[in-house]
Structure 1
Amino acid sequence: MYVSEKPLKNYPWWLKPFFWSQKRRYGKVLKPGLLWARVPKLFAAVAALYGVLDRKSSPLSPELRSLITVRVSQVNWCAFCIDVNGMTLAQRSGSMDKLNALDQWQTSALFDEKEKVALEYAEAITYSDQHVTPELMTRVKTFFDEDGVIELTGLIAFQNLSSKFNAALDVPAEGFCKLPDKP
């Protein structure tokens, strides 16, 4: 890891409930949270955005959100994100099958057409040598209304922010999920 986190006692008091919640959920405070929290206002903004994107009333299903976050993380080589989001995907889908097949989503029968279009859209946004074509947007809109398109785009953009942040700082996987081999 290229930047170290500070000792917990050195963070503002108002971040402690977040750290307590992470410790309860994951058994420890996660390194990315400690890194983002080095700039508390930035941390608060990122945490608020994540909370909005992963809310129960999202027009995107929990499983689809997890598929997107893992695939974007794979493209961006973020070991931590693949690990923690892979665990969430396995929990939400009930198995490791989709996680293990995600790097071959185009040819796998495990993914339905809505998932495949969402994954194609995620890759078009994430890979710097691709872009969203009018034809792709037409296919995206067959599965998502305009608010759904905004939500999906926001999720992809957020996961690019998160995974690029963690990958750039070399945040390692923490052992939440058995990771599939790199694509």
Structure 2
Amino acid sequence: MLLKPGQNRTSRGDLQTATTRGVMTDRKPEAPMSFIDSSENYRYAWYLRPVLALLRRRSGVVPEPVRLWARVPLAFLGFQLMNLALERKSSPLGGTLRALVRTRIAQLNSCHFCVDLNASHALDRGATPEQLQDLAGFRESPRFNEAEKAALAYAEAITGTRIEIDPDLIGRLRQAFGDDGIVELAALAAHQNLSAKFNAALGVPAQGYCMSGHGMAAPD
């Protein structure tokens, strides 16, 4: 997915050095890393170098999942394009709801990076810390409305190893979002499952988005 910028900035000279001949070398040695050591010099596809350079210029670092996805260039581009489509302003699903759904799916997949990133996005978009604390038990929480509970229940059902959807749940979703909204929600859940499973499978750690941006730990 397109990732939230961090707090550090870098100079134009550093940017030029980091992207010379397609080699990205901006990871700090002490930073947590995935199973794949992307601190080593890696020659990315020529057509991805401007994208990676732009990310680094904007945020000071190219996040670990981006580095890993970029090793498979066409898959990286497809993943990013799908993310742009799902996160467009005209989506029938609100931005806060999208972030909550993504966070819950990340929790179920034990993707610490995705929980951290999407919880931070949820807070940016108006979710409360209490909602994040209650997210795993949303069904019993008074902090979520019926539409949110239906969307989260659907996301959980999609994330399970055996997908079984209650027809009553589809009825609740149709009332809240319409048929196009249900399709959008299914696509969002599938995309986030892809992202979370990819990151968890490669051991990508959390990178402190919630703490640096909001002064709180990411929800479990």
Same fold (TM over 0.5): yes
Q: 1:5 deviation in Å?
A: 2.7
Greater relative CO, 1 or 2 (CA 8 Å, sep 6+): 1
Aligned residues: 181
Structure 1 ranges of 4+ moved more than 3 A:
6-9, 20-27
- Give the share of equivalent positions with the same residue, in percent: 42
Q: Given the alignment, which residue of 80, 85, 90 partners 2:118?
A: 85
**Deviation sequence 1:131-158 (CA, Å, 0-9, x none):** 1121211111111111111101000000
Q: Given the alignment, which residue of 58, 67, 78 partners 2:91?
A: 58
TM-score normalised per structure 1: 0.91
Match of 1:174 in 2: 207
TM-score normalised per structure 2: 0.76
Q: Given the alignment, which residue of 182, 186, 194 partners 1:153?
A: 186
Match of 1:136 in 2: 169
Q: 1:25 deviation in Å?
A: 5.2
Aligned runs of 1:1-183 on 2, under 5 Å? 1-5=34-38, 10-23=43-56, 26-93=59-126, 95-177=128-210, 178-180=217-219, 182=220
Q: Is the 8 A contact 1:64 1:115 kept in 2?
A: yes
Greater CA drift, 52-61 or 19-28: 19-28
Q: Is the 8 A contact 1:4 1:35 kept in 2?
A: no
Q: Which runs of 5+ in 1 are unaligned?
A: none
Q: Which runs of 5+ in 2 are unaligned?
A: 1-33, 211-216
**Deviation sequence 1:146-172 (CA, Å, 0-9, x none):** 111110100000000100110111100
Distance 1:25 1:98 in 2: 30
Task: Report the structure number with the largest CA radius of gyration.
Answer: 2
